[in-house]
Structure 1
Amino acid sequence: MVKEIEINKTDKFTQYLEHLEAGKRLQEDWINHGIDCVDLYFEDIDSDWLETWGYDDDEPGNIEKLTTFLESDDVVAVKVRERLQDKSLDEIIAGLEYCLSQLKEEDRIFAAKDFLVGDVVVSGRGNASGNGDINEVELLELAEDLMDKLREILG
């Protein structure tokens, strides 16, 4: 069945004219004011809006959530801290953000495992541990538990 949609050409043309007029005003402001024309269109352009982009005032951001989790007494958080005791909290968070940036779930888990082993360099300094008694199965389980926790915390 074909659904017929009535298109009012006058409305579309009127909308087009409004957009065209707005574009002309912007061009005119650019010619008259130069880069300062931005102030005409955006209020408080010099504030910290870029640093706080995406953060709600009511809800903590991902970094705060990760920090709270890593500092908690959660079993997974304790194991991660023990495993990465030579890394700072910022380095651990950067590593976790890298792991979470992987597109596929299995890639995230293996990136987390590699990070827990110390094979992933995030902050520019190498940190591969020469620990020969690494239990691959336990590390993979910890990586899976960690990714599950992060998915639960970050949504």
Structure 2
Amino acid sequence: MVNYRETSSCNNQVDKFTEALATARQMQQDWLTYGLDFVHIYFEDVDGDWLETWKHDKILGNSILDGIKEFLVSDDDVAVKIRQHLGERSLFDLAVNLEECWRIPESDDRLFAVINLLSGETNSVDRDNIKLLDLADTLLEKLAEIL
């Protein structure tokens, strides 16, 4: 026996997905047609001060993130080593990810998250890499001092 409620729910979900897909395709086409000016079609007051007045922004006005960014561009020996280690990778991305790592409550978990972050790996890193371990540990100690 066919349950009409389940069929109706499934059809409703398919309809919502189809509508979302059509909207996304139209937005992509508008982007290709109008370039970055396509945002004016979808958002009111694009040129206004909405970003400056947005109260719940996690990046702007975040004192921990600001402290991490200031440290990473400083002349501190650890910051210099971090920049050398990163090479071409983004300091801003590192700062955002470090701020997220800073919220990890367990210090060992935090340390291994920073090791993974510095290594550029998303998977577990060989924890026998003493140089990377020392760099991550020293970085966390410095951040603890400044934050």
User: What's the offset of the Cα at 1:81?
Assistant: 0.8
For 1:149, give the aligned amino acid: K
- Tell me how far apart the structure 1 counterparts of residues 90 and 96 of structure 2 sit (CA, whole Å): 10
Cα distance in 2 between the residues matched to 1:53 and 1:116:
21
Higher helix content, 1 or 2: 2
Instruction: State the structure with more CA Rg.
Output: 1
SS in 1 for 2:122: coil
Pairwise CA distance, 1:99 = 1.9
State the Cα distance separating 1:147 from its structure 2 match: 0.6
**Could you tell me which residue of structure 1 aligns to residue 135 of structure 2?**
142
> Helix, strand or coil: the match of 1:51?
coil
Query: Could you tell me how far apart the structure 2 residues matched to 1:53 and 1:92 are?
Result: 13
Residue of structure 1 in register with 2:69 after alignment: 67
What CA RMSD, in Å, does the superposition of the two structures yield over aligned residues?
Answer: 2.7
Instruction: Give the gaps of 5 or more residues in structure 2.
Output: 1-52
What letter is aligned with 2:88? Answer: D
Structure 1: give runs of 5+ residues left out of the alignment.
1-46, 122-134
Moved more, 60-69 or 111-120: 60-69
Show the 5 A alignment for 1:5-154: 47-51=53-57, 61-120=63-122, 136-154=129-147
Q: TM-score with structure 1 length normalisation?
A: 0.51
**Distance in structure 2 (CA, Å) of the matches to 1:79 and 1:97:** 19
State the aligned residue count: 92
Aligned partner letter, 1:68: E
